[in-house]
Amino acid sequence: MQPNLFDTSLRLLFSKSIKFLKPYKLRFLFSIICLVSGVGISLIEPLIWGKLLTGLFSKDYQHIIKLIVYIIIIYSLQIILNYVQTFLFSYLNENIIYDLKESIFRKIMNLQVSAFEDIGQGGFLSRLHEDTATISNLITQEFINISLDILKVVFVGIIAFAISPTLAFITIISFPLTYYINLKFGKLLKEKNTTTMNVYDEYFSVVQESLAGIKEIKALGVKKERVNLFLELSSRIKKLNIDMNILSTLAGNISLIVNYTTQIVLYSVGAYLIFKENLKVEYFIAFTSYSQQFLRSLSNLTKINLSLRKAGVSLQRVYDLIDHKSVEEFGDLDIDSLEGEIKFENVNFNYEKQNTVLQNLNLDINPGKKYAMVGLNGAGKSTIFNLITRFNDPLTGKITIDGIDIKELNEISLRKNIAVVRQEPTLFNLTIKENLLLANPQSSMRDIINACEKVNIHEFINTLPERYNTKLLNSARNLSGGQRQSIAFARAILKRSKIILFDEATSALDNDSQFSTKKIINELSNDHLVIIIAHRLLNIIDADEIMVVNNGQIVNQGTHEYLMKVDSLYQRLYKEELDFMKNR
């Protein structure tokens, strides 16, 4: 089925986008008034020029001067209107980009963690930067151009018909052809543009990964491969952009050929009408200008079809994100402090349909004890943490804390009661103090120093030129892995959560730091519920309950001594650890 001006799905997207104009409706209305006034003035101008040019033969100087004054007034008004409109466009444009970015970024922040794997970092970046600019351009510039051209086509068309129906008919007959050509080109352009935007997603991902993983790239000796990958994507973008420009220009040029042919026919028939049908010369002069305006506006309308399709792709991509269903959902229950009795009841979970990660998992964790999880790589330990923190939800089964289904807790209650320390913690481009305050903005300087002393990082911070006010640049690359992790520990302490999850938190630390970390964990487990995922079994042999995770199930649980007696997997892991220590 051929779309009319643009097809239903696009029309739906555009009507949805009008909401972005709402906050600026007065300014938008004013720009429409400027626009209509501009059209009105441009309608009078050809008539005055027609009179002026034919008036030159009458030598009525007073009349000519009067007409020149009119022209000056018209030009002045056009300049003023143009200035006001340019200002309003830029105001609307920038504000809509800002609002779109706000909607997108808020949505990104509220998406479930799984959605980040679907879309990819590049996908988010190109939507934030490329697509917002295209959409804003559509809502302001393109929308106003369409209105302007529709107005011109209607009013100029009426005047042109009033002057000479024959000439107007010749002018109008070229339109369906131009429209059809542009419709065909529009379809091609939409396809190319969808491909281009998808390549942009990949391109942004590659740039992002290459910058973040520069050390791995150098260490692996794959600089050349990364450059080649970058160049391959850049070259695909280059080719696609060239193709799109060629398509647009081709569409424009074909319209131009139709336009020139129409003009030649117009002048020939016009001359005939002046000689044989007494058409006034001044009206014919005005008509030539009207027909130009008319054809230009028609041609613009057909080209707008092309840009609407391009913007349609961006709109589709942005709305796919804004309407993304995987949004974090929390309950309404507000609980200030949880004790930390965690239960998993028949929990099943998988990331992808085909592979089961957790199978009918039952867990019973009680406050006052120190828990640890061990198991082979990929056994499902981190997944258990992801479910406790609700980065993922079980497919079936229930997780409760203090008897409350964690789905019933509101976001603040859940987050403030659980602190997580990761192996590679994220520290932000803020000062050390600001990074620490993120966990608990109410913390005093004394609290901060106490927490840092506990994790043995206070002395190091004091050696920095600006101490706690030292800025951590580029995700704290100016600190060692152990130092980054110690700051993350301090952050968890400041958070004062009852439940603390250490995800392989000790592995990046040197022996001294590991010893003190072990001390901290032991201290913390006196008044916190502490669960540690550890590959270094020696760090957790004093835990009250060690859970052995295998193939998404807790296959055994107990003290080190008990597991050494009954669990062959645990015995194997422990032996491997001892061998590793011996060989160091």
Interacting residues with ligand ATP (CB under 6 A): 117, 351-352, 357, 375, 377-383
- In angstroms, give the least distance from the CB of 359 to ligand ATP: 11
Residue 368 or 378: the one with the smaller Cβ distance to ligand ATP is: 378
Phi-psi region of 340 (alpha: psi -120 to 50; beta: other; left: phi over 0): left
Total count of residues recorded for the chain = 584
- In angstroms, give the least distance from the CB of 128 to ligand ATP: 23
- In angstroms, give the least distance from the CB of 355 to ligand ATP: 7
- In angstroms, give the least distance from the CB of 411 to ligand ATP: 21
DSSP secondary structure of 107-163:
HHHHB-HHHHHHHHHHHHHHIIIIIHHHHHHIIIIIHHHHHHHHHHHHHHHHHHHHH
Q: What does the angle CA 64 – CA 70 – CA 72 come to, to the nearest 5 degrees? A: 105
Residue 312 or 380: the one with the smaller Cβ distance to ligand ATP is: 380
DSSP secondary structure of 316-338:
HHHHHHHT-S-B----SB--S--
Residue 195 or 326: the one with the smaller Cβ distance to ligand ATP is: 326
Question: How far is the CA of 330 from the CAs of 390, 414, 488, in angstroms?
Answer: 9, 9, 26
Residue 13 or 547: the one with the smaller Cβ distance to ligand ATP is: 547
Residue 147 or 507: the one with the smaller Cβ distance to ligand ATP is: 507
Tokens of 135: 């959409």
Residue 39 or 357: the one with the smaller Cβ distance to ligand ATP is: 357
Residue 122 or 375: the one with the smaller Cβ distance to ligand ATP is: 375
- In angstroms, give the least distance from the CB of 245 to ligand ATP: 40
What is the helix (H) or strand (E) element at residue 529, kind and residue range? Answer: strand 529-533
User: What dihedral angle (degrees, nearest 10) is formed by the CA atoms of 568, 573, 577, 583?
Assistant: 80
Amino acid identity, residue 410? N
- In angstroms, give the least distance from the CB of 378 to ligand ATP: 4
- In angstroms, give the least distance from the CB of 400 to ligand ATP: 21
Residue 233 or 532: the one with the smaller Cβ distance to ligand ATP is: 532
Tokens of 363: 């867990």
- 32: DSSP letter: H
Contact by Cβ (8 Å): 432, 461: yes
- In angstroms, give the least distance from the CB of 348 to ligand ATP: 13
C-alpha atoms less than 13 angstroms from C-alpha of 314 in its C-beta half-sphere: 24
Going by C-alpha positions, the residue among 486, 481, 470 that lies closest to residue 433 is 470
